[in-house]
């Protein structure tokens, strides 16, 4: 079972399981839909895909990159979880990326991806990801496909409503899923004082247009509820943001029952331009908090982590006309804005209809004060005054909606395992196809932007069951690709993914492959403090019990490759510089007994592995990445002597040969 959402009732899961067990309950056209034209997803060997697909890795904490339409996995980018394969979180350079106010955190849960935009279109610069457990936001640089920056979010618990962005990526938002007592008050309170003591916070994180550098511009302090998902307004509604929220009951236990009491929860409409005005007018309160801000420096190949201690908070109950609640049936999950910016689709996951709100009507309702009272100081707009209309009986368990830019919306239905295409204006269902099984998010390339590129739709499922060859109790995740260029949706591919494909975005390949991608790190521009620019600079330096090895690697040897004079109690730092300057020639580095991982070093890069030998002896080291025909020769030895030993520190490559006459050198003989 894939990570059941807390908020989904057991009943729903039972229905889903029943649907699986009794094929008769499945949507009628299950068979025919699977016989779409598979050649449409075929990409011949050596040919490139049309789209890059950035898929959140869910509880793996990573982000995966697939090619579409082939569904081929191109890369797994380590973001919030350590990755021994790449040395991420193990090398000295990358450890600071995973630092938080709680210390080093080696795992998280990356739920959503968001590609940076300019004028409401994907610009191919960055992709953002959210950490759902220890609340953080990450920026991945699409020139390197590496995590460039991670910022922690104070006053938050469970950053689920994130990392959605505005149409010029002015802000990426982060709404707390779990309301908690704010960080600057005593949090040692009874849990059942939720109503008095727990608050929601939404962070607006600004993104520098040139460098991508992130900063928490301000936070909105809101009533204690659960924020779930969000979308920015666009075009006419640029300047607004919409957040779905549930648990307006403010329950603190058994939420699946207690947070599903009310007929309607809310969508929170935020006028962020107004918030900016208040901020400028000095209405924000500086609040004492603690959060980590981690940045990777491309010149030194090294990350640094800084602990910051202050954030500016705007209280939306005091500062009027930033926030309005819009009632939305039954625990809304998805909250999606169509390409024109006029329609906001709320998906009440326990509702049997989809409400569609109108931006114009919301504006009129606010002007006319067409309110139904207040909720903790925030005006509640009358449902009918904001409503464009409802899609009646579309399916069971609506979750998420994407758009094709041709007037249609596509909504996923978890409980009835299907995608439903419907017309936004007249709210009529146009087509439906089954998914296998229990679909969560959908992705249409650019499907959240002003200009969708709606050739394909991908459904990311929560349950895999019998789709692929069985692999014991634990299965790959499943995704299905549909051709949506015609009136009817056609499934053309079914492909397994790493866990857990929560949400994804996709963009035409050209936007990314022509963004000035980096192929190598130029060795002349390497500013790593322990770089060895050429074998002539390789050396071993002792500083007390710290030993720094300035090592180089090239096809097919390390320099030095013989090191003696290491003693028990030493901390050895292997700073390995890959001297190659050609694309796709990484070298690896591993040494016996290392308690961390390998290094994987790109051309021109320097990475550091810390090694603390715990016994005396000879320790082999070798290159782990098959780099050349003589890769298997790419190896060396480190000799470790007892503490206090007088074996002198020595290092060499190619010269440490036996003396011509010494047939059998005595054990422990020393080099002169």
Partner 1 sequence: MKRAYLTSVFLAALALLAACGGGEQKPETDGGSAAEPAKSMVADASSYDPKRGEGKFNESNVTVGALDAAMAAKGEAISGTKCFSCHKTTDEKLVGPGWKGITQRKAPYWIMNFITNPDPMIDKDPEVQAQLELCLVRMPNQNLTDDDARQVLEFMRKNDGAK
Q: In the complex, which residues of this chain contact Cu ion (CB under 5 A)?
A: 587, 623, 627, 634
Q: In this structure, what token pair is assigned to residue 109?
A: 């849960």
Q: Which is nearer to partner 1, 176 or 624 (CB)?
A: 624
DSSP class of 450: S
Q: Which of 621, 467, 41, 528 is nearest to 297 (CA)?
A: 528
- Burial readout 310-332 (b: 16 or more C-beta within 10 A, e: otherwise): ebbbbbbeebeebbbbbbbbbbb
Decide if residue 143 touches partner 1 (CB under 8 A).
Answer: no
> Which residues fall within 8 angstroms of residue 205, CB to CB, at 6 or more apart?
137, 151, 171, 172, 173, 174, 214, 215, 216, 217
Q: Which is nearer to partner 1, 268 or 602 (CB)?
A: 602
Binding piece for partner 1, criterion CB under 8 A, among 244-252, 393-401, 408-416, 518-526: 518-526
Q: Residue 74 binds which one of partner 1, ligand HEC, Cu ion, none, with CB within 5 to 8 A depending on kind?
A: none
For partner 1, which residue of 193, 632, 658, 669 counts as binding (CB under 8 A)?
A: 632
Q: Which is nearer to Cu ion, 174 or 554 (CB)?
A: 554
DSSP class of 10: H
C-alpha 503: how far from chain center: 9
Q: Which of 619, 611, 617 is nearest to 549 (CA)?
A: 611
For partner 1, which residue of 629, 660, 666, 667 counts as binding (CB under 8 A)?
A: 629
For partner 1, which residue of 579, 599, 600, 621 counts as binding (CB under 8 A)?
A: 579
Q: Residue 587 binds which one of Cu ion, ligand HEC, partner 1, none, with CB within 5 to 8 A depending on kind?
A: Cu ion
Task: Count how many Cα atoms sit within 13 Å of the Cα of residue 391 in the half-sphere of its side chain.
Answer: 29
Concatenated DSSP letters of 93-134: TTGGGGEETTEE-----EEEEEEEEETTEEEEEEEEEEETTT
Q: Residue 535 binds which one of partner 1, Cu ion, ligand HEC, none, with CB within 5 to 8 A depending on kind?
A: partner 1
Concatenated DSSP letters of 558-614: EES-EEEEEETT-EEEEEEEE---STT--EEEEETT-SS--EEE-TT-EEEEEE---
Q: Which chain residues interact with ligand HEC by CB under 6 A? A: 554-555
Q: Which is nearer to partner 1, 2 or 557 (CB)?
A: 557
For partner 1, which residue of 168, 340, 370, 556 counts as binding (CB under 8 A)?
A: 556
Decide if residue 373 touches partner 1 (CB under 8 A).
Answer: no
Rounded distance, CA 489 to CA 649, Å?
Answer: 69
Return the H-helix or E-strand segment holding 74: strand 72-77
Rounded distance, CA 215 to CA 292, Å?
Answer: 11
Rounded distance, CA 474 to CA 496, Å?
Answer: 13
Q: Residue 42 binds which one of partner 1, ligand HEC, Cu ion, none, with CB within 5 to 8 A depending on kind?
A: none
C-alpha 320: how far from chain center: 34
Q: Which is nearer to ligand HEC, 5 or 555 (CB)?
A: 555
Decide if residue 554 touches partner 1 (CB under 8 A).
Answer: yes
- From residue 584, alpha-carbon distances to 334, 486, 602 in Å are 40, 40, 8
Question: Mask: binding to partner 1, 416-455, rule CB under 8 A, as x and -?
Answer: ----------------------------------------
Decide if residue 48 touches partner 1 (CB under 8 A).
Answer: no
CB of 585 to ligand HEC, least distance (A): 9
Tracing tokens 């269902």 back to the chain, one arrives at 429
Q: Which is nearer to partner 1, 505 or 607 (CB)?
A: 607
Q: Which is nearer to partner 1, 206 or 556 (CB)?
A: 556
CB of 450 to partner 1, least distance (A): 37
Closest-by-Cβ residue to ligand HEC is 555
Q: In this structure, what token pair is assigned to residue 464?
A: 């895999």
Residues 523-542 that bind partner 1 (CB under 8 A): 523-524, 533-537
Decide if residue 299 touches partner 1 (CB under 8 A).
Answer: no
Q: Which is nearer to ligand HEC, 417 or 578 (CB)?
A: 578
Tracing tokens 């802000």 back to the chain, one arrives at 171
Binding piece for partner 1, criterion CB under 8 A, among 78-86, 198-206, 273-281, 555-563: 555-563
Decide if residue 631 touches partner 1 (CB under 8 A).
Answer: yes
Tracing tokens 């204006």 back to the chain, one arrives at 425
CB of 519 to ligand HEC, least distance (A): 17
Tracing tokens 């009794």 back to the chain, one arrives at 22
For partner 1, which residue of 626, 642, 643, 648 counts as binding (CB under 8 A)?
A: 626
Rounded distance, CA 47 to CA 74, Å?
Answer: 13
Binding piece for partner 1, criterion CB under 8 A, among 17-25, 206-214, 443-451, 626-634: 626-634
Rounded distance, CA 176 to CA 159, Å?
Answer: 5
In contact, 446 and 122? CB cutoff 8 Å: yes
Q: Residue 623 binds which one of ligand HEC, partner 1, Cu ion, none, with CB within 5 to 8 A depending on kind?
A: Cu ion
CB of 579 to ligand HEC, least distance (A): 7
CB of 310 to Cu ion, least distance (A): 47
CB of 529 to ligand HEC, least distance (A): 24
Report how many residues bind partner 1 under the rule CB under 8 A: 29
Decide if residue 522 touches partner 1 (CB under 8 A).
Answer: yes
Q: Which is nearer to ligand HEC, 265 or 580 (CB)?
A: 580
Decide if residue 584 touches partner 1 (CB under 8 A).
Answer: yes
For partner 1, which residue of 271, 304, 628, 645 counts as binding (CB under 8 A)?
A: 628
> Which residues fall within 8 angstroms of residue 293, CB to CB, at 6 or more apart?
149, 150, 151, 152, 214, 305, 306, 307, 308
Q: Which is nearer to partner 1, 191 or 629 (CB)?
A: 629
In contact, 430 and 487? CB cutoff 8 Å: yes
Q: Three-state secondary structure along 635-672?
A: EEEEEEECCCCCCCCEEECCCCCCCCCCCCCCCCCCCC
Q: Residue 598 binds which one of partner 1, Cu ion, ligand HEC, none, with CB within 5 to 8 A depending on kind?
A: none
Q: Which residues bind partner 1 (CB under 8 A)?
A: 520, 522-524, 533-537, 552, 554-557, 559, 579-582, 584-585, 626-632, 654
């Amino acid at each position: 079972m894939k990570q059941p959402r807390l908020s989904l009732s057991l009943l729903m899961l039972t229905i889903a399981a029943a649907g699986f067990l009794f094929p008769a309950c499945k949507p009628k056209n299950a068979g025919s839909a699977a016989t779409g034209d598979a050649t449409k997803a075929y990409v011949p060997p050596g040919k490139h895909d049309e789209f890059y697909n950035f898929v959140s890795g869910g509880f793996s904490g990573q982000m995966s990159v697939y090619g579409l339409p082939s569904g081929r996995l191109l890369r797994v980018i380590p973001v919030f979880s350590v990755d021994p394969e790449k040395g991420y979180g193990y090398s000295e350079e990358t450890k600071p990326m995973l630092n938080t106010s709680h210390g080093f955190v080696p795992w998280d849960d990356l739920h959503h991806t968001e590609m940076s935009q300019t004028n409401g279109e994907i610009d191919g610069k960055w992709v953002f990801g959210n950490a759902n457990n220890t609340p953080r936001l990450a920026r991945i640089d699409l020139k390197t496909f590496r995590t460039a920056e991670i910022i922690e979010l104070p006053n938050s618990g469970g950053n689920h409503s994130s990392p959605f962005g505005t149409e010029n990526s002015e802000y990426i938002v982060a709404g707390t899923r779990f309301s908690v007592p704010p960080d600057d008050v005593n949090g040692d309170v009874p849990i059942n004082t939720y109503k008095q003591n727990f608050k929601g916070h939404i962070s607006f994180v600004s993104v520098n247009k040139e460098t991508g550098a992130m900063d928490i511009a301000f936070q909105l302090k809101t009533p204690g509820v659960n924020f779930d998902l969000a979308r920015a307004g666009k075009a006419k509604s640029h300047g607004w943001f919409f957040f779905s929220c549930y648990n307006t009951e403010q329950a603190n236990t058994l939420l699946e029952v207690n947070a599903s009491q009310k007929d309607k929860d809310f969508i929170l409409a935020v006028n962020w331009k107004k918030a900016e005005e208040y901020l400028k007018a000095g209405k924000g309160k500086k609040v004492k908090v603690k959060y980590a801000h981690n940045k990777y420096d491309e010149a030194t190949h090294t990350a640094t982590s800084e602990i910051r201690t202050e954030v500016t908070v705007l209280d939306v109950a005091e500062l009027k006309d930033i926030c309005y609640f819009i009632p939305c049936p039954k625990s809304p999950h998805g909250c999606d804005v169509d390409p024109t910016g006029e329609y906001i689709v709320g998906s009440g996951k326990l509702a049997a209809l989809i409400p569609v709100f109108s931006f114009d009507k919301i504006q009129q309702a606010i002007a006319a004060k067409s309110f139904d009272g207040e909720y903790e100081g925030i005006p509640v707009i009358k449902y009918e005054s904001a409503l464009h209309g409802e899609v009646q009986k579309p399916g069971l368990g609506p979750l998420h909606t994407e758009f094709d830019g041709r007037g249609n919306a596509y909504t996923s239905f978890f409980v009835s395992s299907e995608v439903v295409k419907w017309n936004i204006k007249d709210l009529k269902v146009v087509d439906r196809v089954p998914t296998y099984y229990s679909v969560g998010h959908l992705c249409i390339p650019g499907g959240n932007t002003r200009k969708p590129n709606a050739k394909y739709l991908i459904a990311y499922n929560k349950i895999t069951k019998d789709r692929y060859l069985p692999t014991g109790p634990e299965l790959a995740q499943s995704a299905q690709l549909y051709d949506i260029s015609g009136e009817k949706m056609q499934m053309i591919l079914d492909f397994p993914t790493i866990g857990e494909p929560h949400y994804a975005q996709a963009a035409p390949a050209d936007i990314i492959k022509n963004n000035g991608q980096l192929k190598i790190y130029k060795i002349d521009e390497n500013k790593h403090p322990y770089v060895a620019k050429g074998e002539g600079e390789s050396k071993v330096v002792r500083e007390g019990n710290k030993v720094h090895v300035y090592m180089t690697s090239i096809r097919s040897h390390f320099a030095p490759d013989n090191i003696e004079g290491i003693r028990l109690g030493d901390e050895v730092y292997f700073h390995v510089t890959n001297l190659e300057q050609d694309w796709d020639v990484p070298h690896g580095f591993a040494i016996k007994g290392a308690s961390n991982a390998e290094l994987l070093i790109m051309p021109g890069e320097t990475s550091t592995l810390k090694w603390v030998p715990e016994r005396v002896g000879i320790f082999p080291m070798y290159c782990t990445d098959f780099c050349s025909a003589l890769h298997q020769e790419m190896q060396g030895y480190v000799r470790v002597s007892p503490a206090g030993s007088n074996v002198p520190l020595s290092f060499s490559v190619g010269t440490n040969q036996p003396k011509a006459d010494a047939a059998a050198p005595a054990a422990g003989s020393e080099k002169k």
